[in-house]
Amino acid sequence: MTREVASQQNGSPASPPHQSQADCGCGHDHAHVNPASGEPLIQARDLTVEFGGRVALDQVNLTVHRNEIVTLIGPNGAGKSTLIRALLQAIKPNKGDVWRRHGLVIGYVPQRLNIDPIMPMTVKRFLSIPSPHSLAECKQALHSVGADQTLEQPVQSLSGGEFQRVLLARAILRKPDLLVLDEPVQGVDFQGQTELYRLISRLRERNGFGILMVSHDLHIVMAETDRVVCINGHVCCSGAPTQVSDSPEYLALFGGQTKPGLAVYHHLHDHTHDGMASQQHTHSLNVDHPDKPDVAQKERN
Ligand SMILES: Nc1ncnc2c1ncn2[C@@H]1O[C@H](COP(=O)(O)OP(=O)(O)OP(=O)(O)O)[C@@H](O)[C@H]1O
């Protein structure tokens, strides 16, 4: 049995969002406030989306605050992208609404971006589509994502990790309040994924963005996430990563994918992993040999 989402008020989109004082761990997504979080930026309220009479999202509630990272997880076809599109107002919900803070600016990194392989385009040019930006701004944005060297390169020549960083730089150039990232580590190897998630976390720290991202990853992403919302047409459960990973709803959906002997932990140290074999260096604690990992510290709270 799934834990149902607590219904939030059905006010107009202009009315202030509901907000509770702390993450109570009840599994409901009723705007749990991380101590580090600030004001609500965006809120889905009882969103229902149907395609041809088929329900893709059923009364989904979700809030993202300034300075917090919320990760959406769920199996294929669970409605993650549909929820993102509804929040971006790219599709109209059949029921419910989306509340946005007045003047909210969103930087969006889509799941897919098809770039014409025939038409070479430098990163510099790519960053100025659709809005022009000065060279200094482009350089600064690339610097902030650790991709300075790509400025003059054709976009088509970038590695998966470089491309995702450039997409992030492009989103940041909008000076967003909220970053929405639909699977930001696609096409990136394991080590690169970890580094990208840590970069996203640093961008939040530096800029105070609210960040909403979609991920298929069950372990690495949790290390850099304040709140996980697990959806499968509806919100199955939500809360702090360790709460969600222990919940029966999460285990019913993902339990089979969890590698034996691995548990979620928060990545508290600060180093790069150059030279480490990515296959051997997982970012999960080996619970069979808890003394083994020298780079991990299990979350305690
Ligand atoms: N434009 C559309 N027309 C019809 N059905 C759609 C449309 N967009 C999404 N769907 C359906 O809605 C459901 C949710 O799709 P969605 O892409 O949101 O899932 P997802 O969780 O993002 O999946 P994935 O992890 O595979 O990307 C799926 O059954 C999908 O087929």
Render pLDDT for 70-97 as a digit per residue (tens, 0 to 9): 999 988 899 999 999 999 999 999 999 9
> 81 CB under 6 A from ligand 1?
yes
| Residue 60: per-residue pLDDT | 97
- The whole-number pLDDT of residue 267 equals 33
Closest CA to 16 of 37, 34, 39, 35: 39
Radius of gyration of the chain (CA): 19
Beta carbon of 80 within 6 Å of any ligand 1 atom: yes
Residue 100, token pair as written in the block: 């946005």
3-state secondary structure 102-165: CCCCEEEECCCCCCCCCCCCEHHHHHCCCCCCCHHHHHHHHHHCCCHHHCCCEHHHCCHHHHHH
160-163 long-range contacts (CB < 8 A, ≥24 apart) are 160/186, 160/187, 160/188, 160/189, 160/192, 161/188, 161/189, 161/192, 161/195, 161/196, 163/187
Answer for the pair 299, 264: CB distance below 8 angstroms, yes or no. yes
Find out whether 183 and 157 touch, Cβ atoms under 8 Å: no
Question: With a 6 A CB cut-off, is 49 part of the ligand 1 pocket?
Answer: no
Domain count of the fold of the chain: 1
pTM of the complete model: 0.75
Measured in angstroms, how far is the CA atom of residue 82 from the centroid of ligand 1? Answer: 6
Split at pLDDT 50, 70, 90, the class of 222 is confident
Which pLDDT score, from 0 to 100, does residue 244 have?
A: 83
Q: Please check whether residue 272 lies inside any domain of the structure.
A: no
Token representation of residue 163: 């491309």
pLDDT at 261 exceeding the cut of 60: no
Range from 27-31, 62-66, 89-93, 191-195 carrying the lowest mean pLDDT: 27-31
Q: What is the pLDDT of residues 92-128, one digit of tens each?
A: 999 999 999 999 999 999 877 777 767 789 999 999 9
Ligand 1 centroid from CA 79, angstroms? 6
Tell me, what's the ipTM?
0.98
Q: Is 122 part of a structural domain of the chain?
A: yes
* Closest atom, ligand 1, to C-alpha of 74: 21
pLDDT value, residue 104: 96
pLDDT at 214 over 80: yes
Q: For 2-9, what is the mean pLDDT?
A: 31
Question: Tell me, what amino acid is at 110?
Answer: P
Rounded distance from Cα 253 to ligand 1 centre (Å): 17
Q: Is residue 33 part of a domain?
A: no
Q: Is residue 27 part of a domain?
A: no
pLDDT value at residue 188:
84
The Å distance, Cα 233 to ligand 1 centre, comes to 10
- The pLDDT-based confidence of 218 (bands split at 50, 70, 90) is low
CA–centroid distance, residue 81 to ligand 1 (Å) = 7
pLDDT at 18 > cutoff 60: no
CA 219 to chain centre: 13
What CATH number did the domain enclosing 100 receive? 3.40.50.300
Q: Does ligand 1 come within 6 angstroms of the Cβ of 76?
A: yes
What percentage of residues in the chain have a pLDDT greater than 90? 46
Q: Which domain covers residue 153, as residue numbers?
A: 40-259
Residue 185, pLDDT score: 83
Asked if residue 236 is part of any domain, the answer here is yes
**Pair 281, 262: CB distance under 8 Å:** no
